[in-house]
Structure 1
Amino acid sequence: MAASAPLASAPVQTTRYERKREAILEAAAALFNARGLNGTTIADVAQAVGLTTTSITYYYRKKEDLASACLLRATAALDELLAEAELAPSPPERLARFTALYFALQADISDERRPALINFWDLRAIAGSGADGAASAFSDVFRRFRRWFTDPSGPALSRLAQNARAHLVFSAFLWAKEWLARFEPEDYSRAGERLVDVLINGLAGPGADWAVIAREPPEPHLSTEVSREAFLRAATELVNEHGYRGASVDRISAKLSVTKGSFYHHNENKDDLVAQCFDRTFEVIRAAHRDAPPSSGTGWARLSTVTAALVRHQLSSHGPLLRYSALSAMPEAMRPKLLRDFDRLSQRTAGIIVDGIADGSIRPVDPMIAAQLVTGLINAAAELRHWVHDAGEENVVELFVRPCLVGVFKPA
């Protein structure tokens, strides 16, 4: 009988192992969300859970392995919600069901009934053996969203349109995590209902035709030096792809085929350059709004025109804009002003929507949530070509902007 004792203790050891592993993943997800992949170390995670670095590496040999495990954990959570939502009979009902489940999950996380899940912003910054598995799991989730747009009961869409709409919807949920903190967790379900209403039914009021006033994408006017603009574009692209800390001086210099000496000739330091990337992004957004003043038409026409111009800018030779996710890894002292500027510009969009509701060109919706959907759309356009390789200035408005503003299940 004594020989059976080790077998009896195995479940206890397994449970202890799983508990510790879950604590590591939870702490790592919170740190990656706050600091970005390149701004977090194994030692940071060890300190957060009260373990040694060696103890962490017993579970995950490298930071990239840990990040991949966090991403697989997050995609598994989304897969579970999608599996339940897929039981609904039609694509709009599946979207509504997924929204309810997703916002309930976010409420549980906010109230600490469920552990935090990692954001997906740094997905492409992961290298190493686990990177392919994490990317594959993310792609599988994307394909499940895309199935909503291949259903025979819906409109016949090209593969380009299916991919664009799947990216639009998936990104809307990822972006929602950024603005949901403005609500009480008990109000998350109502916020989800208002979001899904806009996604399915769009914003256009009765008789509002789809007609975007064609304008060239706005260009920033921060410097007359071509080399200066090149530094800003290169830094923006690298921060979007690798995060703030991953966009090193060496990487920025290599992208432009210049020396580090040349970098410091044009820039005081990296913090100064990235701050100017934000300034450039804000100026582009302000320029788009200035080109569509209240006197230029209805709220619907202005919203369509501003959104189209900014999304086209993302895919133009002057793009992209700096992604909102770059804020999380910015130096603490710089964040309050940048957050304030982002909020003010989002409020401008909400103001256009309020004007449209008042003049009847936009149907009654929650203007803050609708503005956040539009802001998230513009932000997500920077990654559109990862999913829609043929997206460009000439077709992105029809592929990506129109479904957001008129409804994601409307015919192309």
Structure 2
Amino acid sequence: MNKLITLLVFTLLATNLSFAKEVKVDIDAKRTESAYINLASPEVVLVDNTNWDLSFMTGVVDGSVRINDGQGVRLWHVTDGSIADFDAPLDTNGKFETWTELLNSTDVWQIGAFNLGTDGFETGTGDYGWGQYAQTVITGSELFVIKLRNGEYKKIAIDELSAGTFYFFYSDLDNENQESKEFVKSHFSGKLNGYFDLQKGESLDREPAMDQWYLEFSKYVQIVEGQGVTQPYPVVGVRTNRGVKVAQLDDVDVIDTPLPNKEDFSSIITEIGHDWKELNFSTFEYEVIENRVYFVQRFELQNQNGEPVEVPVGELYKLVFTGFEGGTFTYELADPTLSVNQTSYDNSKFAVYPNVISKNETVNLVYAGSEVGQASLSIYSSTGATVHTQDVNLTQNIQISNINTADFNSGVYFVRIQKGNSIYTQKFVVR
């Protein structure tokens, strides 16, 4: 994996979540790379997306097998055959019109193209599409035809998942060049997926550890609507890691955005997806959807009174896309706050007046919140630079009027008071 620390251009985004970095992610114009984003850094890890055909989930109960649909890999279910027919030559004449073409789920990682739309663990049926769970083993039953990245067609079957190892075989359609391979989950411990190159017959370790990324920027296939037709189509978009949820807020102020409620968060891995941008058919350039904000939060299951409860953990991140051109995404990422149920904002209790002043005039701040005691006060410029800090002792109806703007350049400024988990923010303009 090649690591690229992105150039961070500090710009203002949202005072509710402190100030933002503009992040540039380049997966090249041909979309041949995937970019994994760790929002805590934010570090971007770029990896080749053209060197694999299959991916296998590595969790203990996972039986997901996905295809590299973004790079042209396709899969069909041989509905008039089974794994028992693998050793016989396969006649495909006229069959692609009758066989079912299979797609990866864009809702969950646990359902790949080979899973025929079902996760045997989640449903409790033990049906994983390519095979059926019985006691300690998933036994394969289905036969598939796969089109590889290089355009070759192969027949393929997943024979078994036993003791953490997938066993599978594939060959030419006429039964020549048969290969039997295995994929061992434990070789990819801590990863969401491991990968396999059917052309070289080898496993690949190509993604960061699960705790090192939140978002994947990549090319993948999505069901889309266009000109009255719904069909699978390759798109360039964003998918979330397992355990990461996203809240999408539309028609909001991207600067002073309200925090989402817990029920606003979705576990769909393409909740951000590709539709934050639209192609302008007059200019043939992509335009970002205005007034849309995404909040990103990790969640995990915790035991509460003997019951598993999903709770937010770690920090809450706010993301606003600012552009897309070729294979380059740009977005603004606000500095993190505490998780969604840990931080409170009430800007109605904090005011700045006048909110438009001339240089050398004094800024008057009035605080009428319920928090009392020592707090921090900071003023930021529109470049994200801190231009003033001081400690304040909060009491109800306190007025702070000793902030002179003689050294402030003309522009927009943001004032932030923070005490514990409570944050108050307002803005003013220096002419």
TM-score (normalizing by structure 2): 0.22
Q: Which has a greater percent of strand?
A: 2
TM-score (normalizing by structure 1): 0.23
Report 1 or 2 for greater relative contact order, CA contacts < 8 Å, sequence distance ≥ 6: 1
